[in-house]
Amino acid sequence: MSQKLSRLLHSIYPQPDLLARLRQLLPQEAPPSQSTTGQRWDQSTAILITYADTVTAPEEPALAVLHRFLSQDYGTVPLPILHVLPFLRSFSDRGFAVCDHTRLEPHFGDWHHLRELAHGRRLMADLVVNHVSASHPWVQQFRRGLEPGSSMVLAPADLQGWDHVVRPRSSVLFTLMDTHQGLRPVWTTFGPDQVDLDWGRLEVLESFAQLMRAYVDHGVDWVRLDAVGFLWKDPDTTCLHRPKTRILVQALRLLLEQYTGNGVLLTETNVPEEENLSYLRSGDQAHIAYNFPLPPLLLEAILSNSCDLINRWLVRWPRLPQGSTMLNFTASHDGVGLRPAEGLISPERLHNLLMRCEERGGLVSHRTEADGSLSPYELNIAWWSAMAGPATTPRRLQLERFLASQLLVMALPGVPAFYLPTLLAAGNDHPTYCKTGCRRDLNRTRFDLQALRRDLEDTDSPAAVIRILMAHVLGIRARLSAFHPEAPMALLSPERNDMVILQRGHRDDPGAVWVVQSFREEAVELNLSLLAPQHNGCWRDRLSQRTIDSRRLALSPYEVLWLQAV
């Protein structure tokens, strides 16, 4: 393996001691064998996304509280993979400006608490590979001219040739930093406190490989590469998805697979669809990529009362190499990205979507284009608030819209992922936003454990209803092989604007499932003979367990059926 890595990385690190240094990164023994199924995922695989301190209790480490809550209060919901958002010590950006790679945030707990959290579940963690906080020791060493930090910070000697850089922020690209040599410009893609690293230095790769090894030693085997598309910078380019970035992704995947036989590498690239999929196409970069077009398209379909755009998108679902798949989701710790919807939603429909979200208390974030103009980059809104009706009747059909959105996430090829505040029916957190001024904080609600337990004990509360229904549906999904992440899908509704109809699994397979999902606020009718013309018998809805023996079926607003031929 060291020889393979050396050949792969020689174009980036031509130093003569490359092979010897790579050998130091590899384990002495072969990694544990892959799971007994020989697969990294199946139809029971589902992810819960949360911050370490989404649920808190006085005087307790946040990771211990989270462990107790998930085991005692949310244990009925089968979510076997837990993505704990950045937990290392950080100065800003809610964990994404890491200032110490060796210690956790003190109020989260320590490495022992992380290992305890891994009992009975698989953990997923972030490698924030593009940058570190300005308070990180590497940056402080850079300022004083000390190694290794002096060589690890990206500080270009020439500020010319960067006019075409594409990035998601309107802050300055270069930040002046006071150093032992005077003021020096350093690259800051995401803001002044997030200083970019120079991946042309082998020390950077070595440091992140060691961190990934520490993750694995404490129960992590799914690793998310945060903002990885920005990793390598070449002048006179957009500095996105450069060839050497792809080489580094390949190298990190090989290293992860050496550390754990069950390793899964995910790339987070919130960019137009084909750019995002490019990390899967070759079969040797990411195992999973985030399905970023899904949230804006699904949100637009629900709020416009028309699913024509999402049907047009679904009809050209990508064919991916075996062992690769998508991560499907509606909400996350970030907002709803709009760049992935470029070319998929017309300017007029996009404008209407932004207006409807603002009517529901959301905000719009912008990025700076190459010509200096601003364009919408992200919708900041809690998904539960986005599912509300018009101002006159906000609660009408809110739960139905919400559940329909989560059920589509479960029906598509790929691995479904769910954000904990979304499952807890958290609305827009305007008080926190008013304190911090960070628009993303609208969707980063924290919960007191005791208050949350009281809410879940109220069987009429949205959070309690969602918990029961999610446990029910995920349990059913885990028993249906047609929902394997790599099982085939056919779209049967390409021209419809009232419903999405999917066939999962092969038509002749007795385990095939037909997903029928209404996107209307009023009842709609479906001729069931359109699903499988050769089938003359009954249908069974696996969600409700009812048998349907009529040819025509009326669907209630936002109703969802998972049908199997009887």
Q: Cα dihedral angle (50, 266, 378, 462), rounded to 10 degrees?
A: -30
- Strand-pair partners of 503: 490, 514
Q: Is 241 annotated as a binding residue?
A: no
Q: Is 169 annotated as a binding residue?
A: no
Angle in degrees, CA 421, 43, 225, rounded to 5: 55
Q: Is 93 annotated as a binding residue?
A: yes
Give the pair of three-digit tokens for residue 337.
């990205």
Give dist(CA 125, CA 103) in Å, integer. 14
Q: How many CA atoms lie within 13 A of 277 on its CB side?
A: 12
Q: Is 543 annotated as a binding residue?
A: no
Give the pair of three-digit tokens for residue 549.
């023996």
3-state secondary structure of 355: helix
Give the pair of three-digit tokens for residue 223.
């690793």
Give the pair of three-digit tokens for residue 159.
């500020």
**Residue spans of beta strands (DSSP E) within 180-270:** 182-187, 194-196, 220-226, 264-267
Q: Is 509 annotated as a binding residue?
A: no
Which helix (H) or strand (E) element contains residue 563? strand 560-565
Which residue in this structure is represented by tokens 């107790």? Answer: 68
Angle in degrees, CA 492, 566, 470, rounded to 5: 70
Q: Nearest Cα to 256, choosing from 227, 298, 291, 287?
A: 287
What is the DSSP secondary structure assignment for residue 69, as one 8-state letter?
I
**β-strands 499-504, 513-518: how paired?**
antiparallel
Q: Is 333 annotated as a binding residue?
A: yes
Give dist(CA 80, CA 544) in Å, integer. 24
The identity of residue 164, as a single letter, is: H
> Which conformational region is residue 505 in: left (phi greater than 0), alpha (psi within -120 to 50 degrees), or beta?
left
Give dist(CA 251, CA 205) in Å, integer. 9
**Residue spans of beta strands (DSSP E) within 294-357:** 325-328, 336-337
Cβ proximity of 418 and 430 under 8 Å: no
What is the DSSP secondary structure assignment for residue 317, as one 8-state letter?
P
Give the pair of three-digit tokens for residue 438.
């960070």
Cβ proximity of 155 and 185 under 8 Å: yes
Residue 222 to residues 82, 97, 125: CA-CA distances in angstroms? 9, 21, 7
Q: Is 403 annotated as a binding residue?
A: no
Q: Is 226 annotated as a binding residue?
A: yes
Cβ burial of 332 (10 Å; 0-12, 13-18, 19+) is: buried
Which helix (H) or strand (E) element contains residue 226? strand 220-226
Residue 226 a catalytic site member? yes
Candidates 226, 308, 429, 498; catalytic one = 226
Annotated binding-site residues for substrate read 93, 131, 224-226, 333-334, 440
Annotated binding-site residues read 93, 131, 224-226, 333-334, 440
Catalytic residues: 226
